[in-house]
Chains A and B, each alone.
Chain A
Amino acid sequence: MKLKKNIATSESGFVFNPTTGDSYSTNPVGTEILFLLKEGHSFAEISATILEKYDVEPTVFEKDFDDLLAQLKSYNLIEQ
């Protein structure tokens, strides 16, 4: 569960896949998670970071995280 090495991400939430030329945008929480994924953090570490910073139930975050991951997989941005 790691973002592909060549995926470019910016602090503004812009994501660029240089292999396909596709680009995406994420909201601020999505951007934060992408950076954590890129650094190779586990779900537990990411969850701990987000839950500490934001007012969100763990079960809700887990579901949202799974949704985001499914999106990233469908866009072919995650290392298989």
Chain B
Amino acid sequence: MKKPAQPPVAVREEAAPADRPTAGRRPLTIAVTGLNAIDSPGPGMAVIRALREGLSEREVRIIGLSYEALEPGIYMHDWVDKTYQVPYPSGGTETLLMRMAQIHATETLDLIIPNFDAELYNFVKISDKLKEMGIATFLPTLEQLDARDKINLSAFGQKHDFYVPRDRVITSIDTLPGIAGAFGWPIVVKGKYYEATVCYTLEQAQKAFQKLQAKWGLPIIVQEFIAGTEINVAALGDGNGGMVSAIPMRKLYITDKGKAWAGITLEDEGLIEMARKFISATRWCGGFELEIMRAQDGRPFIMEVNPRFPAWIYLAAGAGQNQPAALARLALGEIVPPYTDYAVGKMFIRYSWDMLVDVENFQKISAFGEL
């Protein structure tokens, strides 16, 4: 007897279940500029160090954004996971936005923290478009940037009742003798973005004018010289007039470029109040640095306001107020209560270190713009 034929059936194959992601949350991906940890260092590496420590409860992926192939941070793979070159600020906002879109397509950035004065304007201008792409920033507005600009500092000081040195914004070298006559020697000749020279004679002032004009363009700022002690305050404003953190630091060792190579945190409620007043007056959003000269009569003069974290910002984190991590949390919409305490007498002493790098890595960043 033959076996009865099995009725033909069509059995639907169960589709294999889709693989569930097993790696947990996507890492928090933060792009940071200012990887030039050189003798006049950018703040990038200090910001990255603070971010990694202050956000240690989650996986953080750091994307370096560099301008030149020899920025040391590009090769510091323990700190920077991947670096992409970005166009110089003079390239304009469209070029920057295109590059950021390319990088975002690969890296899915959550946040960008720019750290150079000269690039800030472009990043502020494209911040809305970055937001549409899903990339957060925590930056001052163009109006806030302009208000504290070296060119407007004197007017800003008068308006908000801060001590600021007298200054003149000039475009002609012929005006130098008259200004020196009014201020008295020495005078400080400053570039539009960076660098300042203390000049004791007209020849020195003219030379400084020409050098700064060639490097940074016009105008040049000529400032009254204030003798005293150099103190800086690193601070973070929440964008609504509230201060999240402020740490005063006295420079203990100053390089010939005027940069702090060692410093110590100070206990000075007056300086903290000054930062609070600045934030309240401007409703500052983001990190900034007050450069202060405490004159011999005790008056604190604001010499400059840098619209981003300083290169010594890791000291603030080490003293108990991690401003870069707090900025990241604010940018991502978290509530960050203001810091109240910090360690007074905490010092930083900077050092340089020779990294050895294979030429292949240098070739990659030079030729392909990423490493």
Contacts and interface: CB of A to CB of B under 8 A. Distances in A.
In the complex, the 9 A-B pairs of residues with the closest C-beta atoms, listed nearest first: A21-B250, A18-B267, A18-B344, A21-B264, A21-B266, A19-B268, A18-B345, A19-B267, A16-B345
B252 interface: yes
A6 interface: yes
A7 to B, nearest CB: 11
Contacts of A18: 266-267, 344-345
- Tell me if B's interface is mostly helix, strand, loop or mixed: strand
Contacts of B267: 6, 18-19
A19 B345 contact: no
B61 to A, nearest CB: 37
Give the interface residue-count category, chain B.
10 to 19
Contacts, number: 19
A28 to B, nearest CB: 23
Interface string B255-280: 00000000110111000000000000
A21 B262 CA distance: 12
Interface in A1-31: 6, 8, 16, 18-21
A76 to B, nearest CB: 10
A80 to B, nearest CB: 13
Contacts of B268: 19
19 contacts: A6-B267, A8-B345, A16-B345, A18-B266, A18-B267, A18-B344, A18-B345, A19-B266, A19-B267, A19-B268, A20-B229, A20-B250, A20-B266, A21-B231, A21-B250, A21-B252, A21-B263, A21-B264, A21-B266
Contacts of A8: 345
B293 to A, nearest CB: 13
Nearest to B251: A21
A20 B268 CA distance: 8
- Tell me if A's interface is mostly helix, strand, loop or mixed: loop
Contacts of B252: 21
Nearest to B344: A18
Contacts of B266: 18-21
A47 B229 CA distance: 36
Contacts of B264: 21
Interface in B1-19: none
Interface in B181-198: none
A5 B324 CA distance: 33
Nearest to A16: B345
Contacts of A21: 231, 250, 252, 263-264, 266
Contacts of A20: 229, 250, 266
B312 to A, nearest CB: 13
Nearest to B268: A19
A75 to B, nearest CB: 13
A20 B263 CA distance: 11
B294 to A, nearest CB: 8
A20 B294 CA distance: 10
A7 B137 CA distance: 41
A18 B267 CA distance: 5
Of A6, A16, A20, A21, most B-chain CB atoms within 10 Å: A21
B34 to A, nearest CB: 26
